[in-house]
């Protein structure tokens, strides 16, 4: 009788000690543990439609892709996995969408009934909450807000899917799946044909577009907007930067995709003007880390791939369900370039001055992200013998947890799949953890060296 409470006490002590000494490591460990659990569940014979146990690499890849809300697949989701397998994938998407630090906070509250000071600092760094006492309530707010938005999206999609499916139960299941997958920027689809039958259907695609865009903004932005819905001037600087940069990238991406693909017979050419506008808008939103597609990405022009590479690499907002190096990182660096061109000493936006430490963190995150993409691309080029354009697209899609694919993922050899598994994990957890660690390492030095400017450029 005492073994159970004793084991729980030791687990509580271990979590408390880990939360105090290395909360980031605890968060990464919890995330890895979730992936391991989902992999084990997908290894069960009942998880596949055929009843045959899936190969380990396919289960691990799918579990990692779902938990990191990426959307890359090595087997067709709608036909390969059973209904129970799809439920496991959907749970992984929901858990993964909550975020690494939020997940660690949930574990801390469940086991130790409290969140340590160091852990609160790291969660505050990720979610941009300024008062440490708000973190516990923030976790509950994140869960309630995300679930409420997913329910709204599902309710909007249900009537359209009912007309398409003809069965209320199937339509409800698909509506819930698409709603959770869209808001969490996962890109998984529960059917074989995916969204291609709805390429010109505004009723079906617009809620998914809105869900992906809102999910990519991040919970700090959502909470700031909801708190001051009628007073945009009172939004935080982070919210203003995220929204304006995201909208700018959306418009730019949609226009460029339309310009490149307008006459492409494999993508937009068969569509009318309204269908082309919707397909371009959809394609402009998905690089935020959405990962859905209504046309064959593999049939797009190489110029479109290159533009999508750049948009996927940027990704979505901080502390959001999206991946990438984050839009605020891009915004801070662009603002620094503008300030330097004008000769301004300070980097400013919306009547606020951005501290130099934020620029340093942004540069570090961008450089580390580019390094991961470079190394992974070199590894896959050596393993596969494929061309750089498709390899780079797949690597950036994995790192940015986007999920768009030219169609080569399923054909990759097992070692290349393991590289993408590691890249998805690093892409989802690495940049955020790095940014939090750098933000907390603010050393004060008593002695400073003399200043001397090197020649730049």
Q: Is residue 454 part of a domain?
A: no
C-alpha to C-alpha distance for 355 and 352, rounded to whole angstroms: 10
Band the pLDDT of 3: cuts 50, 70, 90: low
In this structure, of 38-42, 229-233, 317-321, the range with the lowest mean pLDDT score is: 317-321
Three-state DSSP at 36 gives helix
Confidence at residue 20, expressed as pLDDT on a 0 to 100 scale? 54
Residue that the structure tokens 């590289």 belong to = 419
Question: Do 188 and 181 touch, CB atoms closer than 8 A?
Answer: yes
Confidence at residue 113, expressed as pLDDT on a 0 to 100 scale? 47
Band the pLDDT of 1: cuts 50, 70, 90: very low
Q: Dump pLDDT digits (tens) for 72-107.
A: 999 999 899 999 999 999 999 998 887 755 655 555
- Counted domains in the chain: 1
Show the tokens assigned to 247. Answer: 């909208």
C-alpha to C-alpha distance for 232 and 240, rounded to whole angstroms: 8
Q: Dump pLDDT digits (tens) for 328-372.
A: 999 999 999 999 899 888 899 998 999 888 888 888 889 989 999
Query: What would the mean pLDDT of 394-412 be, rounded to a whole number?
Result: 93
- How does DSSP classify residue 55? P
Show the tokens assigned to 58. Answer: 């396919």
pLDDT over 80 (residue 135): no
C-alpha to C-alpha distance for 64 and 15, rounded to whole angstroms: 24
Q: Is residue 448 part of a domain?
A: no
Question: Do 63 and 42 touch, CB atoms closer than 8 A?
Answer: yes
Query: What would the mean pLDDT of 41-57 be, rounded to a whole number?
Result: 95
Show the tokens assigned to 364. Answer: 């570090």
Q: Is residue 354 part of a domain?
A: yes
Residue 401's domain comprises 3-440
Q: Is residue 456 part of a domain?
A: no
Within 8 A by CB and 6+ apart from 404, the residues are 71, 187, 286, 287, 291, 293, 297, 308, 312, 393, 397
pLDDT over 60 (residue 192): yes
In this structure, of 3-7, 319-323, 398-402, 450-454, the range with the lowest mean pLDDT score is: 3-7
Band the pLDDT of 253: cuts 50, 70, 90: very high
Q: Is residue 451 part of a domain?
A: no
Three-state DSSP at 349 gives strand
pTM, two decimal places: 0.87
Q: Dump pLDDT digits (tens) for 413-435.
A: 999 999 999 999 988 887 666 65
Query: What would the mean pLDDT of 6-19 be, rounded to a whole number?
Result: 61
Q: Is residue 7 part of a domain?
A: yes
Backbone angles phi, psi at 353, to 5 degrees: -100, 130
Backbone angles phi, psi at 330, to 5 degrees: -65, -45
Confidence at residue 111, expressed as pLDDT on a 0 to 100 scale? 47
Band the pLDDT of 455: cuts 50, 70, 90: confident
C-alpha to C-alpha distance for 196 and 208, rounded to whole angstroms: 13
Confidence at residue 450, expressed as pLDDT on a 0 to 100 scale? 81
Q: Is residue 449 part of a domain?
A: no
Query: What would the mean pLDDT of 319-334 be, rounded to a whole number?
Result: 89
354 strand-pairing partners:
347
Q: Is residue 321 part of a domain?
A: yes
Query: What would the mean pLDDT of 285-303 be, rounded to a whole number?
Result: 93
């Amino acid at each position: 009788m005492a073994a159970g409470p004793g084991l729980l006490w030791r687990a509580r002590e271990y979590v408390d000690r880990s939360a105090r000494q290395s909360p980031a490591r605890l968060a990464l460990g919890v995330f890895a543990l979730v992936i391991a659990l989902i992999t084990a569940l997908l290894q069960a014979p009942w998880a596949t439609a055929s009843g045959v146990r899936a190969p380990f690499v396919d289960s691990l890849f799918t579990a990692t892709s779902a938990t990191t809300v990426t959307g890359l697949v090595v087997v067709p989701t709608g036909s390969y996995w059973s209904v129970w397998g799809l439920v496991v994938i959907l749970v992984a998407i929901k858990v993964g969408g909550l975020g690494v630090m939020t997940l660690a906070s949930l574990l801390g509250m469940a086991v130790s009934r409290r969140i340590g000071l160091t852990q609160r600092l790291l969660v505050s760094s990720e979610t941009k909450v300024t008062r440490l006492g708000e973190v516990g309530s923030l976790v509950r707010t994140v869960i309630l807000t995300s679930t409420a938005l997913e329910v709204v999206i599902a309710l909007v999609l249900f009537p359209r899917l009912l007309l398409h499916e003809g069965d209320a139960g199937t339509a409800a299941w698909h509506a819930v799946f698409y709603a959770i997958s869209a808001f969490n920027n996962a890109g998984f689809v529960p059917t074989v044909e995916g969204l291609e039958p709805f390429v010109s259907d505004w009723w079906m695609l617009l809620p998914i577009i809105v869900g992906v865009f809102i999910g990519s903004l991040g919970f700090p932005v959502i909470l700031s907007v909801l708190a001051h819905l009628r007073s945009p001037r009172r939004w935080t600087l982070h919210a203003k930067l995220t929204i304006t940069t995201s909208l700018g990238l959306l418009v730019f991406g949609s226009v460029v995709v339309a310009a490149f693909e307008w006459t492409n017979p494999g993508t937009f050419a068969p569509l009318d003007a309204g269908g082309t506008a919707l397909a371009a808008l959809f394609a402009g939103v998905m690089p935020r880390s959405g990962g859905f597609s209504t046309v064959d990405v593999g049939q797009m022009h190489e110029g479109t791939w290159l533009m999508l590479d750049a948009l996927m690499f940027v990704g979505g907002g901080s502390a959001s369900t999206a991946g990438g190096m984050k839009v605020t990182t891009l915004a801070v660096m662009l603002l620094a370039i503008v300030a330097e061109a004008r000769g301004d000493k300070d980097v400013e936006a919306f009547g606020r001055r951005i501290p130099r430490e934020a620029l340093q963190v942004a540069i570090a995150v961008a450089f580390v992200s580019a390094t991961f993409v470079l190394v992974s691309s070199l590894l896959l080029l050596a393993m596969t013998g494929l061309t750089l354009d498709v390899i780079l697209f797949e690597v950036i899609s994995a790192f940015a947890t986007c999920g768009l694919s030219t169609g080569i993922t399923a054909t990759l050899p097992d070692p290349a799949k393991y590289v993408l598994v590691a890249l998805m994990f690093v892409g989802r957890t690495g940049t955020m953890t790095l940014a939090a660690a750098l933000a907390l390492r603010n050393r004060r030095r008593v002695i400073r060296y003399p200043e001397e400017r090197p020649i730049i450029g």
